[in-house]
Amino acid sequence: MSTSDNPNLADLQPETLAVRGGRPDGQLSMAPVLWASTTYEMGTLEEGRQLAHSTQAKKFYSRHGNPTVNAFESAVAELEGAQAARAYASGMGAIAGIVLGLCSKGDHIVAQKQLYGGTMQLLAGVCPRFGIDVTFVDGTVPGAFSQAIIPGRTMLVFAETPANPLLDLIDLDELGAIAGPITVVDATLATPLGVRPLDYGVNLVVHSATKAMAGHNDATLGVVSGERDLIDALWGFAVLQGACASPFDALNGLRGLRTLAPRLRQQGATAVAVGRALESHPAVNWVRHPGLESHPQFALGQRQYRMHGGVLSFDLAGGLEAGSKFVSAVQLCRPATSLGGPETLVTHPASTTHAGMTSEELSDCGITGGTVRLSCGLEHVDDIIADILRAL
Ligand SMILES: *Cc1c(COP(=O)(O)O)cnc(C)c1O
């Protein structure tokens, strides 16, 4: 390939980078290539010895690295403006890889209390077993993260934005300004096309690529991006943790990135339209989406995000009974626990994603029995709204 075929990446918009990401170098193939092999012939023993310890060996053994997974990692790193990325078998694989890969007995973590249920259970349930203390703070309160830091002991500051399931936003300027502990943002709901936390000085950004990035409900995948040294440090634990990404899922991740921008834009617009229809409905207490002016952090969302995804939540006045009735009354929208795919999915956080939490913990996060989370898909917006209004 001549160099004139390679435009300067710095000149390209993220949408354009997403379409090109992971295309094999020096080959004519438009689509990424699937490398299913788990192992590769070594030239010499010395070469094998070096590959075994190389954080960037693509062709050695698939738990260490794989060319297709590596192509997905490069594509994501490019979108995040990161030096490097590491893919995992799932979003939770990535989050557990960060927490257990970087923290030791006696260390302290500051985390926001508005979190994906699995992350909450890892931090609140697993970390104490390993002697890692966690302090939970309200991530929407200015200064909350930095005030909870214990100098010399806090290893990680963990945030999620927009956060599950109420779409709370974190001020990334404030998080990025924290020095000392490693700052981590789970930006699954935004995707790298919505927000790039590393641009604000955050150290690591993690995604469940299972969601909007792969985008078709057919891949389970996680990915962490950041500075090369930090990703290399994670690699050392990741090869032992064994939550390595499947090349098939990485291929679906690359396919998903190619259409991420138009999907996210349509889903975000649908979510705002659904939100407006719900805001004026008498059975609805409140509606949350960062693209609605009624969101308490609307201005922050406008400032720090290029686009918002299709996830919104709302609260039904009738509480638990109304919430469970709604989820069984919808016909087009399907009750299932994921987000960012082509199908509109409804979840009832109190009985699914956040089922592991006590009722005090739930109400502390603003979740009630009437709270419903909706992930807008790619169906026509009129059909989605009609289904929801009929179910209400
Ligand atoms: C789904 C999700 C996860 C976990 O990802 P998996 O791929 O299901 O392991 C983590 N964080 C957020 C915000 C999620 O939505």
Name the residues annotated as catalytic. 63, 116, 186, 211
Check pocket membership of 191 for ligand 1, CB cut-off 6 A. no
Q: How many CB atoms lie within 10 A of CB 19?
A: 16
What's the whole-model pTM score? 0.95
Check pocket membership of 164 for ligand 1, CB cut-off 6 A. yes
CA distance 252 to 216: 8
Query: Residue 321 class from Cβ within 10 Å (0-12 exposed, 13-18 middle, 19+ buried)?
Result: exposed
pLDDT of residue 5: 58
Which among 166, 344, 169 has a CA at the least distance from the CA of 263? Answer: 344
CA distance 209 to 222: 5
Please, what is the average pLDDT of the chain? 94
Question: For the segment 42-71, what is each residue's pLDDT rounded down to a tens digit?
Answer: 888 898 888 888 887 888 999 999 999 999
- C-alpha 311 to ligand 1 mean position (Å): 13
- C-alpha 118 to ligand 1 mean position (Å): 7
Check pocket membership of 212 for ligand 1, CB cut-off 6 A. no
Under a CB-based contact definition with an 8 Å cutoff, are residues 187 and 76 in contact?
no
Q: Which residue has the higher pLDDT, 291 or 5?
A: 291
- C-alpha 256 to ligand 1 mean position (Å): 16
Question: For the segment 120-144, what is each residue's pLDDT rounded down to a tens digit?
Answer: 999 999 999 999 999 999 999 999 9
Under a CB-based contact definition with an 8 Å cutoff, are residues 187 and 195 in contact?
yes
> Domains in the chain, ordered, with CATH?
3-258 (3.40.640.10), 260-391 (3.90.1150.10)
Under a CB-based contact definition with an 8 Å cutoff, are residues 79 and 258 in contact?
no
Check pocket membership of 162 for ligand 1, CB cut-off 6 A. no
pLDDT of residue 6: 66
Q: Tell me 202's DSSP state.
A: -
Question: For the segment 195-252, what is each residue's pLDDT rounded down to a tens digit?
Answer: 999 999 999 999 999 999 999 999 999 999 999 999 999 999 999 999 999 999 999 9
Ligand 1 pocket test, pick from 98, 211, 312, 337 with the greatest ligand atom count within 8 Å of Cβ, gives: 211
Check pocket membership of 220 for ligand 1, CB cut-off 6 A. yes
Question: For the segment 154-178, what is each residue's pLDDT rounded down to a tens digit?
Answer: 999 999 999 988 999 999 999 999 9
CA atoms within 13 A on the CB side of 87: 34
Inter-CA distances, 382 with 261, 268, 308, 324, Å: 21, 14, 20, 23
Percent over 90 (pLDDT), the chain: 83
Check pocket membership of 80 for ligand 1, CB cut-off 6 A. no
Q: Which atom of ligand 1 is nearest to the CA of 92?
A: 9
- C-alpha 369 to ligand 1 mean position (Å): 22
